[in-house]
Chain A
Amino acid sequence: MSLLSLNNVHIGYGGIKAVKGISVQVNAGELVTLIGANGAGKTTVLKAISGLLKPSAGEIQYDETSIVGTAPHHISQRGLALVPEGRGVFPGLTIEENLAMGAYCRNDKAVIASDMEIAYQRFPRLKERAKQTAGTLSGGEQQMLAISRALMSRPRLLLLDEPSMGLAPIMVQKIFAVVREVAASGVTILLIEQNAKLALQVSHRAYVMDGGVITLEGASPDLLTDPRVREAYLGEAA
């Protein structure tokens, strides 16, 4: 059963068409990645899914119902969490407050507290700095916080926008390990990445996007060995 499906979606900014008719399926329990170069339209797709942009044509279905034109806060209340590009933590709020904000739509205080504990176990670093403001964290720590905050809403579908952006290689490894772990815990993930190699290594299936269209799709292990992908995105001669 597909949890999220995009059918022939077109998205434009004014006169410029950023996304020209793409179709993507994400099944429940899957970790799907959308890879592509800068400017391929990946972030635009995520914004449309989370309701921040309205597609000019096409259909987006989440959990069997159309979410085109639904307000972002309604979409997020239905269990879809976005980790925005560049992390988007609240820099002036403490880590604890940031996490609490992630649970904004939930009311059960006991469960929220236990979820916060889970977040701290996953990233002990965050616990050490719970009372510190998010703005004082390093890029990697902010990414940890952004992911933890998104998980505080107990999402069914997690949208990750370039979690590796601007991070040290060791931090990227750490973040991806967590992404894999979150996926294993049953959360469906749509991961957007420029780091094609890592994204293909952690995901089940992948879509390759270029110039606003999907150019390739398939099982990630297959794409990892596909000569076209190797040449264009992994920087290896075919």
Chain B
Amino acid sequence: MTSYLPERFRKSPLVLTLGVAMIVVALVALPFVLSMAGTAWVRLTNFAILFVLLSLGLNIVVGFAGLLDLGYIAFFAVGAYVYALLASPHFGIHLPFWIILPIGAMVACLFGIMLGAPTLKLRGDYLAIVTLGFGEIIRIFMNNLSEPINLTNGPKGIATIDSIKLFTLDFGRTTRIGDFALNGQIKYYFFLLAVLVIVIIINLRLQNSRIGRAWEAIREDELAARSMGINTTNLKLLAFAMGASFGGIAGGVFASIQGFISPESFTLTESVMILAMVVLGGMGNVWGVVLGALLLSFVPEILRYTVEPAQHAIFGRQIIEADVLRMLLFGLAMVIMMLYRPAGLLPSAVRKRELARSTS
């Protein structure tokens, strides 16, 4: 377990224990602190965690196996629709979440293989184009599968999706224990946190496993990897399948938090956003990807709440809209990053070396 951590932590178990304890306390306290500022912030945090989950899933495909996927949101959509169809009045089916989430993961996994199998021989730009098309195909299907049989309810989307219910705990309502109120978003927060911890552990274990090393070899030189005895076909499919399953799980939780989904939530912009999170954080590095996803989820929201009041205070009127400023800052951040940290904020060791080589 300790082998995943940076050198300086491995040497000192006391610092490690203290550090972990502090992080755990902070993570447990976080939603209660945030809800003082308003439940909206807990909700934003939940969405940020969803994006971390998605980024970690995409990181398996892009960061580990080196397969550029621009249609990743499709798996998120598949997971969300599976949840919505099996837990809403649309078909009148109301299955519990612990049945639907695994089903959603499996269906997304199948879609991952469906995308992976025909694209095994493609790399780089060509693969990106096909995956981009795949993402759009899924979205368009969701939009149009309301006839002849009404499967997805088309652009109107599916509403009143069941919230997650754990024993007697309904995540859609506020639970009161004496004076202590536990609202739905806080419950989702802890649920997502648990899923996130599992997904992070899986990612870290993958990175240092035989499979992880094989992916690394495929990314570096596929032909050489094959002559080392690596089954490149299966391993590439595995990358797609695993990435897709994580996306599917995230999609399911998303549907239940939102209570409503429509094809609009699954556009190319979202795919690009998730990819940007992976790239900004540092492709192939689990902690980097987590950081990237959190930054790109929170910064726009913080801007939304601060830019306008700040302008009013300084200039007395609004000069620039938060959305416009956001795009400007994104552009600026991207240029700065490409110049100074091309491998991401927390680059993986191998990626860093690869980039150092190509620029030298």
Contact = CB atoms under 8 A, between A and B. Distances in A.
A52 interface: yes
Given A73-B231, A76-B228, A101 B353 contact: no
Contacts of A153: 228-229
Interface string A133-146: 10110000000000
B226 A73 contact: yes
Contacts of B226: 52, 72-73, 76
Kindly state the interface size class of chain B when it binds its partner. Answer: 20 to 34
A91 B217 contact: no
Contacts of B231: 71, 73
A39 interface: no
B165 interface: no
A101 B213 CA distance: 8
A133 B357 contact: yes
A116 to B, nearest CB: 15
B230 A73 contact: yes
Interface string A73-86: 10011000110100
Contact of A76 (B216, B227, B350): B227
A105 interface: yes
A135 B224 contact: no
Interface residues of A, number: 28
Interface string B223-253: 1111111111100000000000000000000
Contacts of B210: 104
A92 B349 CA distance: 9
B125 interface: no
A120 interface: no
A90 B216 CA distance: 9
B213 A91 contact: no
A79 B137 CA distance: 44
Between B224, B227, B351, the greatest number of chain A beta carbons within 10 A of the residue's beta carbon is seen for B227
Nearest to B354: A92
16 contacts: A50-B227, A52-B223, A52-B227, A72-B229, A73-B231, A77-B229, A82-B227, A88-B227, A92-B351, A92-B353, A100-B213, A101-B213, A104-B210, A135-B357, A149-B228, A153-B228
Interface of A: 50, 52, 71-73, 76-77, 81-82, 84, 88-93, 97, 100-102, 104-105, 133, 135-136, 149-150, 153
